[in-house]
């Protein structure tokens, strides 16, 4: 970083004509060399500083250059200013000010991956696949994603209006009142037949502790005898790798959870502690859908490969890359894709996703109407699946993935309710497996 600053400042005294001559010469050198030419970058920056129609600050040019450089690598790498870095750390801690929306850039348009449950965005009915056309009248096309996030966030109690494009519907406005978003990522309840239900809405630093507390409460309510557990990861956009590893470890007794494979000796396998299973012998189903991404896929893939759970639902999102946060000594940070992750059997989730053992689609009446179904493979610059780690790894899941339906996700407000047909199917599966009589449970209205 310091070296780049010195190169930039080295041409500050050059005149416009000299700068143009330098830039042409530098471009000729760059054309003959496959190595990065920092002098060319510096020369172009000086052209902009001297000849652009409006004055441009050097710091702004540097920031924009870094953002452009990282943004064109893949959909998940980015440069963050110091302010953006601090905001990102707040997100990881599970507490921030805003409206509760997970968004990603797709073709220059901010697209909703998932609204966070029990937040202004979730309560307003925003849905996966919605495109944010403008924020308070300011068009978002081509705008840096972090700039859009900053515009949406603001002082609690103030209002922000998002213009939303949803499928074939006309663009409509959604006013949202900002508030402090303190995400409690785990929700739980006991279903009839002493079957537990746990939903994880995202993977934050507090998720493993919240999960332990939820399991302890469920076991207490069931007098220590849970007959099954539904782990609901639908519409969970992911989060921290460490959190996904810890959550997976709570249902395994030792063994591999996930492996990451990087470029320069960064290979690492994460293992579960011995005798760590919180529910030994208790059958588990995991629910996933097209909005289950990243950390959600790590957990689903680990429990599936280790034969600890039956995965139900529809094909997941397919984000199988690992991002590292690299601070730059007061100059912000890089969010850099440094590795791909692999399930215990050695298969990559990237570009493919997790294929459920039992496909259960949400009935049409429960699906998000006119939803656009985005997948990792549709994002510009997304990596293709590299294949299994070795030829001996069985590719059965990957072969099946090509023929799996990518159906619209269930409406957020129905998840976990009596009208949730996918949950009903998971409960029925556990009840049939345990021959438990489902006393008091009413079937959903639509199947």
Which residue out of 105, 130, 232, 305 is catalytically annotated? 305
Structure-token match 């010195």, residue found: 6
Catalytic residue among 319, 345, 348, 411: 319
**Distance, first Cα to last Cα, the chain:** 58
Q: Which pLDDT value is given to residue 251?
A: 97
Active site (annotated) includes residue 305: yes
Phi, psi of 240 (to 5 degrees): -80, 135
CA distance 376 to 410: 19
* 319 labelled catalytic: yes
Whether 294 is catalytic: yes
Largest CA distance in the chain: 85
The torsion region of residue 29 among left (phi > 0), alpha (psi -120 to 50) and beta comes to alpha
Residue 368: CB partners within 8 Å, gap ≥ 6?
Answer: 127, 128, 129, 408, 409, 410, 411, 412
The CA distance from 135 to 121, in Å, is 14
Confidence at residue 108, expressed as pLDDT on a 0 to 100 scale:
78
The distance from CA 252 to its chain's CA centroid, rounded to whole angstroms, is 24
Task: Report which of 211, 197, 209, 201 is spatially closest to residue 181, judged by C-alpha positions.
Answer: 201
Residue whose pair of structure tokens reads 């601090």 in the numeric block = 86
Name the active-site residue from 188, 294, 316, 371: 294
Which has the closest alpha carbon to 115: 135, 134, 97, 130? Answer: 130
Identify the structural domains of the chain with CATH numbers, from first to last.
2-56 (no CATH), 95-182 (2.30.42.10), 186-434 (3.90.226.10)
| pLDDT tens track, the chain, 447 positions | 433 322 222 223 333 444 344 344 444 444 455 556 788 888 999 999 999 999 999 999 999 999 999 988 998 899 999 988 887 776 666 566 789 888 888 777 898 877 877 889 989 999 888 999 999 999 998 888 888 988 998 888 999 999 999 988 999 999 999 998 877 899 999 998 999 999 999 898 899 999 999 999 999 999 988 999 999 999 898 988 999 999 999 999 999 999 999 887 668 999 999 988 999 999 999 999 998 999 999 999 999 999 999 999 999 999 999 888 899 998 999 999 999 999 999 999 999 999 999 999 999 888 876 666 677 877 777 888 888 887 555 545 544 555 565 677 788 778 999 999 999 999 999 988 764 444 343 433 332
| HEC letters along the chain | CHHHHHHHHCCCCCCHHHHHHHHHHHHHHHHCCCCCCHHHHHHHHHHHHHHCCCCCCHHHHHHHHHHHHHHCCCCCCEEECHHHHHHHHHHHCCEEEECCEEEEEECCEEEEEEECCCCHHHHCCCCCCCEEEEECCEECCCCCHHHHHHHHCCCCCCEEEEEEECCCCCCEEEEEECEEEECCCEEEEEECCCEEEEEECCECCCHHHHHHHHHHHHHHHCCCCCCEEEEECCCCCCECHHHHHHHHHCCCCCCEEEEEEECCCCCEEEECCCCCCCCCCCCEEEEECCCCCCHHHHHHHHHHHCCCCEEEECCCCCCCEEEEEEECCCCCEEEEEEEEEECCCCCECCCCCCCCCEECCCCHHHECCCCCCCCHHHCCCCCCCCCCCCCCCCCHHHHHHCCCCCCCCECHHHCCCCCCHHHHHHHHHHHHHHCCCCCCCCCCCCC
Does the pTM of the predicted model rise above 0.75? no
Q: Which of 186, 187, 164, 157 is nearest to 97 (CA)?
A: 157
Tokens of 128: 């996966």
Backbone angles phi, psi at 74, to 5 degrees: -165, 175
């Amino acid at each position: 970083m310091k070296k780049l600053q010195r190169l930039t400042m080295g041409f500050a005294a050059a005149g416009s004509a000299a700068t143009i001559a330098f830039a042409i010469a530098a471009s000729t050198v760059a054309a003959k060399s496959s190595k990065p030419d920092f002098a060319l970058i510096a020369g172009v920056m000086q052209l902009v500083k001297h000849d652009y129609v409006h004055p441009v600050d050097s710091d702004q040019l540097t920031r924009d250059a870094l953002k452009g450089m990282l943004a064109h690598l893949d959909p998940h790498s980015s440069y963050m200013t110091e302010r953006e870095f601090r905001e990102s750390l707040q997100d990881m801690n599970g507490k921030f000010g805003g409206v509760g929306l997970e968004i990603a850039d797709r073709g220059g348009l901010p697209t909703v991956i998932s609204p966070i449950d029990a937040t202004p965005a979730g309560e307003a009915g925003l849905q996966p696949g919605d495109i944010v056309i403008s924020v308070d009248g300011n068009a978002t096309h081509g705008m840096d994603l972090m700039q859009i996030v900053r515009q949406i966030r603001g002082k609690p109690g103030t209002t922000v209006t998002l213009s939303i494009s949803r499928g074939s519907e006309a663009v409509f406005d959604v006013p949202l009142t900002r508030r402090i978003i303190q995400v409690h990522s785990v929700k739980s309840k006991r279903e009839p037949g002493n079957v537990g239900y746990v939903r994880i809405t995202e993977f934050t630093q507090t998720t493993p502790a919240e999960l332990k507390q939820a399991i302890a409460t469920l076991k207490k309510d069931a007098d220590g005898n849970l007959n099954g557990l539904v782990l609901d990861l639908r519409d969970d956009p992911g989060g921290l790798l460490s959190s996904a590893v810890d959550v997976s470890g709570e249902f395994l007794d030792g063994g591999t959870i996930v492996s990451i494979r990087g470029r320069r000796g960064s290979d690492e396998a994460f293992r579960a502690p011995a005798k760590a299973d919180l529910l030994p012998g208790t059958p588990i189903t995991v629910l996933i859908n097209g909005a289950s991404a990243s950390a959600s896929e790590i957990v689903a893939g680990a429990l599936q490969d280790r034969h600890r759970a039956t995965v139900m639902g529809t094909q997941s999102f397919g984000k199988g890359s690992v991002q590292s946060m690299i601070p730059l000594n007061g100059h912000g940070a890089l969010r850099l894709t440094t590795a791909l992750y692999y399930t215990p059997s050695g298969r990559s989730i990237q570009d493919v996703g997790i294929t459920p053992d039992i496909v259960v689609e949400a009935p049409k009446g429960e699906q998000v109407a006119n939803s656009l179904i985005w997948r990792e493979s549709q994002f510009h610059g997304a990596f293709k699946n590299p294949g299994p780690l070795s030829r001996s790894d069985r590719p059965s899941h990957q072969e099946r993935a090509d023929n799996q339906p990518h159906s619209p996700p269930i409406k957020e407000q129905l998840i976990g309710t009596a009208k949730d047909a996918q949950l009903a199917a998971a409960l029925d599966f556990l009840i049939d497996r345990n021959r438990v009589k489902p006393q008091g449970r009413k079937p959903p209205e639509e199947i």
